[in-house]
Amino acid sequence: MKIILIGIQGAGKSTQGNLLSKELGIPYLSTGHIFRALAKEKTKLGRYIKEVMNAGYLIPDRKTMSIVSDYLKRSKYQNGYILDGFPRTIVQAKAFRNGIDKVIYLRVSDKEALWRLSYRNGDDRNDETLMAIRKRIELFHKLTEPVLDFYRAKKALIEVDGERPIGEIYKEILDKINTK
């Protein structure tokens, strides 16, 4: 099964992606994790990605498509995957030719996302300044919401209220991917 997780930063995509990965036996791949790893590299690409992310902007479509396509060619992703953080623009959604089965939208308000992110601990993430987060939320509404309409029109979109307890969200996702 090939699943895409879409949601505003802080919606719980990583949490649900990891739970679903264990349950379904398919790997979880986060473009955010990929980009943060690349940003740590002392390369021209790494420095570029770091600057773009720290400013709160999205990596350009062509570069994102290239990086994601290269990852998905790896053997571990041949039998399915859970992809988080891609596609983020309508250009990426239309160009992505990978036979997606389900697109899960974790719906969370801006206020809830900001609250969650302000209390998130863990990874030392330089791309999570308040200014960068606000910019990313703004870009989500402007660039990623049309992606939801694209998948809704294809009857692939599953919308889930992401402001409930993790277990409830997880159960609803499993119920909906197993019945549609």
CATH of the domain at 141: 3.40.50.300
pLDDT band at 134 (very low <50, low <70, confident <90, very high): confident
Quote the mean pLDDT of the chain.
89
Which stretch of 3-7, 82-86, 112-116, 126-130 has the lowest confidence by average pLDDT?
Answer: 126-130
Q: What pTM did the predictor assign?
A: 0.85
Contact 104, 6 (CB under 8 A): yes
Domain region containing 130: 2-179
Helical (H) or strand (E) element with 29 = strand 28-30
Torsion of CA 48, 113, 96, 69, to 10 degrees: 40
Place of tokens 């379904």: 24
Contact 1, 99 (CB under 8 A): no
Return the exposure string of 126-145: e unless at least 16 CB atoms fall within 10 Å of the residue's CB, then b: ebbeeebbeebbebbeebbe
| The predicted structure's pLDDT at residue 120 | 64
Backbone φ and ψ for 2, nearest 5 degrees, come out as -115, 115
| The predicted structure's pLDDT at residue 148 | 96
CA atoms within 13 A on the CB side of 42: 0
| The predicted structure's pLDDT at residue 96 | 92
**Number of domains composing the chain:** 1
Backbone φ and ψ for 35, nearest 5 degrees, come out as -65, -40
pLDDT tens figures, 18-59: 999 999 999 999 998 899 899 999 999 999 999 988 887 889
- If 0-12 CB within 10 Å is exposed, 13-18 middle and 19+ buried, where does residue 18 land? middle
| The predicted structure's pLDDT at residue 32 | 87
